[in-house]
Structure 1
Amino acid sequence: MMTRPVHTLPKAHLHLHFTGSMRLPTLVDMAASHGLRLPRALTQSWPPDLTEADTRGWFRFQRLYDAARACVRGEADMRRIVAEAVADDAAEGSGWLELQVDPTSYAPFVGGITPALEIVLDEARAAADRHDIGVGIVVAASRTRHPLDARTLARLAAQHAGEGSGQVVGFGLSNDERRGDTTEFAPAFRIAANAGLAAVPHGGELLGADAVAETLEWLHPQRIGHGVRSVEDRDVLARVVDAGVTLEVCPGSNVALGVFAEPADVPLRRLIDAGAQVALGADDPLLFGSRLADQYESARTVHGFDDADLAHLARSSILGSRAPEHVKDDLLGGVDRWLAAPAPAPAPA
């Protein structure tokens, strides 16, 4: 079968974490420069084996993520991460990237959460110009911290809200779904909504459809990070569809964490057949070992998506993004041209 290359398909990348976007050689270099020792799981066998979606499995993931985050020790490190994330996404055909960051983690090294965020925003603007790609920033609170901290971050995000590259375009809620009370984060999301920011919390990966329902009721999201387990309840999935919520589905993450045993078990086709808008995401390539283009390749090779199906996924990612309307129009036109172009001839046997 003739297929068009996924890295030339214009798309938006809506689920990528700051630390998790790092290239492994960059992490190794940063660790060495700061005299830090990385866990052997990162240096001797990559990507690391995370497997189970139980507390121990998540603990393994979080331990490695924390070790990577501890290597980010200043402005130069932060700028390098943003610059490389943007370059990598541009090379894979992304015309718009939304990079998610919790500035709290890096504040001690740069003088506070405000300068931490401003460094990310400034480098996002510069990298966007270098690579001809739009880059918005999502400020994310952590479920493991007090909800008052989330309100502080929401107010900071609101101060930098805007449209286009180097602006805060959304407010998220990340980390272990089993921690914290979703209802207590609603005030932070109201602050963000009043500033015109998209609500893009995580939900429905480690926990099931009830977590998706609670997220819908209390946080009023435009997108849900993951949300894949909404398929476990027909009524909840119908609510997602009726509300027009885009699901940021990250197959590589789902399998690596053991949410689904095999790539074929990820219910990508079921979500789309139900009418859900799906935007594929890479989540944390540093730990899961796969980037955005790999998610599209998996949709093709594992789930049987043809080029028209992949184009539909790309359109959903663009429409679900916070890219300016003219950027969306340009990218959607690019998807049409990608699909209309002759597919390459198959390689000789």
Structure 2
Amino acid sequence: MALKAELHCHIEGAAAPELVIRQARKYNADPTPYIRDGAFVWSDFTTFLQAYDFAADLFRTEDDYAQLADHYLTSLARDGAIYSEVFTSPDHAVKAGLSPQAYTDAIGEGMSRARAKTGIEARMIVTGVRHFGVESVETAARFAAKCRHPLVSGFGMAGDERIGDIEDYVRAFEIAREAGLGITVHAGELAGWESVDAALEHIRPSRIGHGVRAIENPDLVSKIADAGIVLECCPGSNIALNVFPSFAEHPLPKLRQAGCKVTVSSDDPPYFWTSLKREYDIAAEHFGMSDKDLAALTRTAVEAAFVDRTTRAALLARLGAPARGR
């Protein structure tokens, strides 16, 4: 089985239908409008958000979140993953009635349980929600900077990239950068190439979440390649949300051919009827990638991971690859 690594997954969006059904029984909720025949059902972005919010609301305690992280990471390891980064949300924590610290500690506990069972390494990227506004994102950044949890290693921003000007969020990212956290930001998914270009100019991330709409501007693609920016591509998610009409029209192969560093991830896997394993299968079946190419995807993800040198070297050793200049 090919070894895999994932850089782009939202922890609340990783809850498998069977786990959500179990949580619904626990809290006397009816999952049938959102889950049928063991799968999430939705028809457009609005109904996707309704299903997502319903499921996320069923994780309310520290034990719930520990179970969620353990369940997801254990399933990833079963499919050959050796590393995973998940986006966490202080805003979800508050909505669930938990402090951001308790929420983070609980997810960390789930990560530790999964690691003890399977050996999978995992980290958290604390994430602000763009459409909640500048103050909310800065609050998330301040939490990320001060929480000092050993498994919190990055900061990012998700949410509707069509809302607000990216330069308004610069201070949030500077707070995180000054604390030594890795920086990533969602851009170039629902908005076009200009969103990616603005993120590079104002935020200066080492990675871009999605970034695939950069293909609309060849000069920007060259800029990304030359700068070594890593694109956290999520093909299954992109097709499910109609960012592109088909895998045949997905730009990952062209971005890769242009010299961009690309990885594949599952985003909100059960909602998009995907998994990290399926994303690797898509790369092979639809993008014509060989076993060697797939191994290179994993290596790129490990080299771009927000981890310390010792952890990176250990992960590369599991891949049978030496560290390059690290």
TM-score (norm 1): 0.87
In structure 1, stretches of 5+ residues that fail to align are 1-7, 51-56, 338-349
- Identity within the alignment, %: 31
Determine which of 89, 104, 108 is the counterpart of 1:117: 104
Deviation of 1:161 (Å): 4.5
SS at match of 2:208: strand
Aligned to 1:303: 287
Distance 2:137 2:279 in 1: 31
Kindly indicate whether residue 114 of structure 2 is the aligned counterpart of residue 127 of structure 1: yes
Q: How does 1:218-297 map to 2 (within 5 A)?
A: 218-297=202-281
Distance 1:252 1:187 in 2: 32
Determine which of 170, 195, 205 is the counterpart of 2:154: 170
Q: How does 1:34-53 map to 2 (within 5 A)?
A: 34-38=27-31, 40-44=33-37, 46-50=39-43
Aligned to 2:10: 17
2:63, 2:106 within 8 Å by CA — same for their partners in 1?
A: no
SS at match of 1:185: helix
Distance 2:251 2:320 in 1: 26
Determine which of 292, 302, 312 is the counterpart of 2:296: 312
Deviation of 1:14 (Å): 0.5
Deviation of 1:147 (Å): 1.0
Deviations 1:163-193 (A, max 9, x none): xxx5211101112222233221111000000
Deviates more, 1:220-229 or 1:124-133: 124-133
Distance 1:181 1:122 in 2: 36
1:203, 1:215 within 8 Å by CA — same for their partners in 2?
A: yes
1:11, 1:331 within 8 Å by CA — same for their partners in 2?
A: no
SS at match of 1:183: helix
Determine which of 200, 211, 226 is the counterpart of 2:184: 200
Deviations 1:31-87 (A, max 9, x none): 12112223524235734354xxxxxx3222222211111111212211110111110
Determine which of 133, 137, 159 is the counterpart of 1:150: 137
Aligned to 2:324: none
- Compared CA separation, residues 45 and 118, structure 1 to 2 (3 A): closer
Letter in 2 for 1:34: Y
Aligned residues: 321
Aligned to 2:82: 95
SS at match of 2:132: coil
Distance 1:199 1:215 in 2: 11
SS at match of 2:198: helix
SS at match of 2:197: helix
Deviation of 1:282 (Å): 0.4
Distance 1:198 1:329 in 2: 17
Letter in 1 for 2:79: E
Distance 1:258 1:49 in 2: 13
1:225, 1:248 within 8 Å by CA — same for their partners in 2?
A: yes
Distance 1:270 1:20 in 2: 28
Distance 1:334 1:268 in 2: 26
SS at match of 1:15: coil
Deviates more, 1:69-78 or 1:117-126: 117-126
Determine which of 25, 29, 41 is the counterpart of 1:32: 25
Determine which of 101, 105, 108 is the counterpart of 2:92: 105
2:188, 2:212 within 8 Å by CA — same for their partners in 1?
A: yes
Distance 1:215 1:143 in 2: 13
Kindly indicate whether residue 44 of structure 2 is the aligned counterpart of residue 60 of structure 1: no
Distance 2:295 2:197 in 1: 29
Deviation of 1:107 (Å): 2.6
Deviation of 1:257 (Å): 0.2
Deviation of 1:109 (Å): 4.1
- Compared CA separation, residues 123 and 149, structure 1 to 2 (3 A): same
Letter in 2 for 1:23: A
Distance 1:200 1:265 in 2: 25
Distance 2:185 2:81 in 1: 22
TM-score (norm 2): 0.93
Distance 2:45 2:201 in 1: 26
Deviations 1:264-323 (A, max 9, x none): 221111011111111110001120111111111111111111111111111111111113
1:252, 1:288 within 8 Å by CA — same for their partners in 2?
A: yes
Letter in 1 for 2:131: T
Deviations 1:189-225 (A, max 9, x none): 0000001111111110111110000111111111111
Deviation of 1:125 (Å): 2.8
In structure 2, stretches of 5+ residues that fail to align are 322-326
